[in-house]
Structure 1
Amino acid sequence: MPEVAGDGQEVKLVGAWYSPYVHRVAWVLKLKGIQYEFVEENLRDLNKKSSFLLDCNPVYKKVPVLLHHGKPIVESLFIIEYIDETWKHNPIFPTDPYDRAMARFWARLMDEMLLEGSKRALCAEGDQLKKEIEQVSDAMEVLEGMKKGKKFFGGETVGFLDVAFGWTTIWLEAIEEVAGVEFFNRDKYPHLDNWKSEFKQIHVVKDSLFPMEKLVRFFKKYRQSQLKLAAEK
């Protein structure tokens, strides 16, 4: 499909290369063929966030931010819903109201259990690390059951939940290596393993994945800095 510029208006995505929240928005824009400008935000120093980001997202001061018609939309799952409702072609959300509501529910729950849990595990040790591993494992069990019998979470084609969970295909593996844990056991989660392979072959995903080594290096530095801060308290 030829790219569309979205009502003739400039579309910008404010983000950071390592953010799974940013990548899920970028995947949806690419799946719909929407031209956009990526504005890289340096978030490594939390005290040096740009005035541009603070103007766009004064409440959370986080990426991603989508700018359309000059108006900012924040929080990745809300951004994806906005994109899907604004550009109707190549729909991402289910058409059935019940299925849409359940997709929103599972996406939010997995962000809380799996994404945030694995991020906490990255900077945890001892009993806290065990607690986070248990929570992530519970979430993986749920996803394995949801995926059973389907090519993608939405059926035969990529949908909202695939995009929402797509970060697990690379970020989770990098966190495992840095934290020295195992979340993704291929024997325990065969359906998720098959989905992971299928999802990574989608052209907009495959073309946007960066070397694992780069993400591992970034996570190692982040883990070291956070553990150092915790030790100084």
Structure 2
Amino acid sequence: MDHLETLRCFVAVADAGGFAVAGRRLGCSAAAVTRAIAALEARLSVLLFQRSTRMVRLTEAGERFLADCRPLLNDLHEAEQAARGAQAEAQGLLSITAPQMFGIQHVAPIVLDFLQAHPRVQARTLFVNRVVHLLEEDMDVAVRIAHLHDSGLTALQVGSLRQLVVASPEYLVRHGEPRHPHELGQHRAIAFSFDARAPSPWRFRDGTTGTPQQAWISNSNEVDIAAAEAGLGLTRCL
């Protein structure tokens, strides 16, 4: 039994007025309690209890020692409870990154609800259209819309999205509606690219691909959608 447990044992005996009752409260045998108290008295070189066949009573030295021990053990208990509470209650800074438009439309409302439910949490969000390095930029969580490459990071799928090819009604009236990916080569498009360089061919769920004529390449979903609404060409959106 370590020293802290011995002190708890001492207080239990003082409260119970006997070794057997204290042992039952502590979940150990009366013999173990007796040995612990004897070891404590030997350590302190003082008699803490007067023992008789009928009862156990604190000595004057035991009374003083109890008065000193009880607040210490109470403080320790409160510290342990506070530590458990700190684990149970969310607190601290949470840093999240996500693609810009998706972050604004979908992540930000969730963060707002979370902060209102957990007032001891502070949030930092970085909504940008580039791949953010979590360690280098001190981020806790990244929302990624992609098939992830293997890495040392832990990934959890939280949902799925469907990407659509869209265009303005005016554009479709002028140029017609493509019916198959191989027809995309006959159409102009506004394409998204993280670095505004030439994007990859458009890939569809059935494995087919198509490469439209790139009228505009940007790294902004808002720009792509605005250009499509203006009738410049096709674009893809979630």
Higher relative CO (Cα under 8 Å, sequence separation at least 6) belongs to 1
- Bigger strand share: 2
Q: Same fold (TM over 0.5)?
A: no
User: Aligning the two structures, in what range does the TM-score lie when normalised by the shorter sequence?
Assistant: under 0.3
Structure whose alpha-carbon radius of gyration is higher:
2
